[in-house]
Amino acid sequence: MGKKNVKVIVFDAYGTLFDVHSVIQKCEELFPTRGQQISELWRTKQLEYAFIQHIIGRYRPFDEITKNSLRFACEQLGVALAENQEKELLRSYLTLSPYEEVPNALKKLANRYQLAILTNGTLNMIQPLVEYHHLNPYFSELMSVDDVKQYKPSPAAYAYALDRLQCEREDILFLSSNTWDITGASSFGFQTAWVNRKKVVFDRMGQQPDHIIYNLNELIRIV
């Protein structure tokens, strides 16, 4: 496969393994008819805030950004967010639903490869989430950019993963559903597979994934 044999498969978490919009159910429960709007604006601002904080050199951890983007989304949409409701919605990020095929696919892949996660989320977000769904046995490393204070797609984030995994960059197959993440990882020198769950067009940013798949079951056939 690809340029050389893969030794480690590194996954992005949000949108790749876990459905960030599974929070719609809780949003809808708390704010009937507004769930989808809140979820979509929350995610949009979450990414925007992370990129802007990175660019201006004022890193803020992802759990803080997640809280601030939720507050913005509710204020922008005219939804009164009580403290207890905010806590409930933030807790929902610790139990995001994995995509349907993820648990079984990880089980199969873990029999053949070292698996790891590299996320913009903080460890206090990703560790409970992985443990909640009993996926922790499949991963050798749960890596957060919080340790390097550089959000993906910064090269420093991928370099941090490479240092932790103690292998060559060509040995790594990196998976993400986010085109900006694939662009960063490809530019850094990782082999990449874009999980195109929404069946959309890849962004034109000068890089292309080595592989395009639509769910993790297709990855099993490729590797």
State yes or no: is 203 an active-site residue: no
Helix axes 35-55, 62-76, angle to 10 degrees: 130
Spatial distance between the Cα atoms of 64 and 61, rounded to a whole number of angstroms: 6
Our measurement of the distance from residue 162's CA atom to the centroid of its chain's CA atoms, rounded to an integer in Å, reads: 17
Query: Residue 115 CA to chain centroid, in angstroms?
Result: 15
Token pair in block for residue 202? 């890849």
Question: What is d(CA 75, CA 128) in angstroms, rounded to the nearest whole number?
Answer: 28
Which of 12, 19, 171, 181 is flagged as catalytic? 12
Active site members: 12
